[in-house]
Structure 1
Amino acid sequence: ELKDQHTHVKQRVAALEDQSATVMYTKHANSSQICSTELLHFLKWFCIRDGAMAKWLHENVPQNEPRMVKEVVKNCSPLLADRMPDFALESQGASVVSTRCSETYRTRSACVSFLGVPLWYPSENPRTVIQGQAVQAGKCWAFYGAQGTLVIALSHPAHITHVTLEHLPVSNAPTGRIDSAPKAFSVYVKDGTWLGTFTYDQHGGAIQTFQLAIYYFVELRVLSNWGHLEYTCVYRFRVHGHMASSSK
């Protein structure tokens, strides 16, 4: 069976090479565009069926390939954050302990009304950050200004190795900007020990993981955002590591 799978993968690689060799390009405004969408469809199908081939694709797709092809190849690789346990996940037992003095900002992006009369404007609370929901525009905890704090009780005591901060992708933002995204942020533990200060890159991927030793609580302190004057949004925050021995 393994031999058959190996043969199947080799056949798919050969097919990919054939597809790549026949792709045609047109030049317009100094940018390359693919004349045929066949390769894109093939790449997407191939990534879904054979995720293990992501490494091969990364090594064999030239740097000058069109952006669309490179984006598909990039998305083949399972995200580091999705390959590690998340100790800041509410469904697993984590909880929000405090937001210190950070006040929830009501964006009024949604409205509950009756017969056309606005009744109230629902807003997301801090728990949204640890609920692990699919990211949708506006489905985040927004707080006033550019600085805010969130204290999370972990689901299990853990040796923390990484943290992940997630925001809406630029491509999904209605305005084409994510200036409400956190910029600089620090991570602390319950006794005030500083684990590190990091920068969320607004031009990077939507999900960014930072490498950072048994802790029960972590505190996220957002120090600045990417320019929004009224509020900052945190869509999701994850804490990764290894569960500590119960004897410690």
Structure 2
Amino acid sequence: MQPTEEETKRPPEFSRKAKVKDGKDVDGGKKRATPATNEGAVGKDQSPEKTNNVVLKMCHHTQVLMRTLAANFTKLRSEVQDGLSVFEADKIALTDYALESAGGRIVSIRNTEPYPAGAPPLKILGVQICHPTNAPQAIIQPGVLPGECWAFKGSTGSVVIRLVGQVRVSSVSLEHIPQSLSPTGEVSTAPKEFSVWGLSWGDDTEGFFFGQFTYDIRGKPLQRFNVTHETKVPHPYVEVKFHSNHGNHEYTCVYRFRVHGALEMRPGVR
């Protein structure tokens, strides 16, 4: 069938549109896909203003989180440092009224015979000049490294300590190095049975009996003992009597002895 003159004069676009009606191709009867446009995509995308707002909110939340973490970390670090300060100061949260740097003094060791342990003999050109001994002052000083102890012969000994003042004694502490730090791998020189007495003066031989205690080498290196017999009367001196050790027949080593309680008054001149 030949096209009419009118159809021949129609533009190509008009002829194509005429063949398509309601999304259907009149010629084939099949629906042709409508070309996709970017109008929908543009509508779904966020505008630059909205994007900036989201970024600002995320930055704000991040800053708040970082400030919170920093505050918690600072608090935790402060608590750890405080705990370490107490530990480094004296390892126990109790005042030591026998501490030498605070005013404590060694008055007497009675008839105890020192043992030449610790530092090696002093020699000049191979000739021994002297053999230093570990002084009893070691037991009221903070050092507790291997060898920093007061050593005396045998398993019995005694020491009189002048406290920093008149003290109502409530407990005492005895410290020895652990087996893991011992150069010989054992701690048989550690004191075992000992007693503590309150004295009115340095030469007092009849003091107040606070109690007798046992240091357990299987326990912690630093062990505290509450007094068995309490008194409201303060004492300016204490005497520690060591009655046995943990098996060493040659000598005994005392590393650190502490006295705890309540300070009543500063001592006068004696």
Same-fold status (TM-score > 0.5): yes
C-alpha distance in 2 between matches for 1:88 and 1:105: 23
Quote the offset at 1:116 in angstroms: 3.2
Alignment of 1:20-169 (within 5 A): 50-51=79-80, 78=87, 82-107=92-117, 109-132=119-142, 134-169=143-178
C-alpha distance in 2 between matches for 1:203 and 1:176: 14
Q: 1:139 to 1:8 in 2, by over 3 A?
A: same
SS at match of 2:252: strand
Q: Which residue of 2 aligns with 1:220?
A: 240
* Contact 2:173/2:224 (<8 A) preserved: yes
* Contact 1:164/1:237 (<8 A) preserved: yes
Say which one has the larger Rg: 2
SS at match of 2:92: helix
**When the two structures are superposed, what TM-score results if normalisation uses the length of structure 1?**
0.67
Q: Which residue of 2 aligns with 1:15?
A: none
Residue 175 of structure 1: which of 159, 184, 188 is its match?
A: 184
* Contact 1:81/1:209 (<8 A) preserved: no
Quote the offset at 1:115 in angstroms: 2.6
Quote the offset at 1:160 in angstroms: 1.0
- CA deviations on 1:141-161 (whole Å, 9 max, x unpaired) are 111111110111111111111
SS at match of 2:177: coil
Residue 197 of structure 1: which of 176, 196, 212 is its match?
A: 212
Unpaired runs of 5+ residues, structure 2, are: 1-66, 200-205
Whichever residue aligns with residue 98 of structure 2, its letter is: A
* Contact 2:165/2:265 (<8 A) preserved: no
Q: Which residue of 1 aligns with 2:72?
A: 8
- CA deviations on 1:99-158 (whole Å, 9 max, x unpaired) are 1111111126512122333322211111111122x2121111111111110111111111
C-alpha distance in 2 between matches for 1:138 and 1:96: 19
* Contact 1:159/1:215 (<8 A) preserved: yes
After TM superposition, which residue ranges in structure 1, 4 or more long, deviate above 3 angstroms? 3-7, 48-52, 77-81
C-alpha distance in 2 between matches for 1:94 and 1:139: 18
C-alpha distance in 2 between matches for 1:4 and 1:160: 46
Identity %: 38
Whichever residue aligns with residue 218 of structure 1, its letter is: V
SS at match of 1:8: helix
Q: Which residue of 2 aligns with 1:240?
A: 260
Q: 1:91 to 1:78 in 2, by over 3 A?
A: closer
SS at match of 1:83: coil
* Contact 1:81/1:164 (<8 A) preserved: no
**When the two structures are superposed, what TM-score results if normalisation uses the length of structure 2?**
0.62
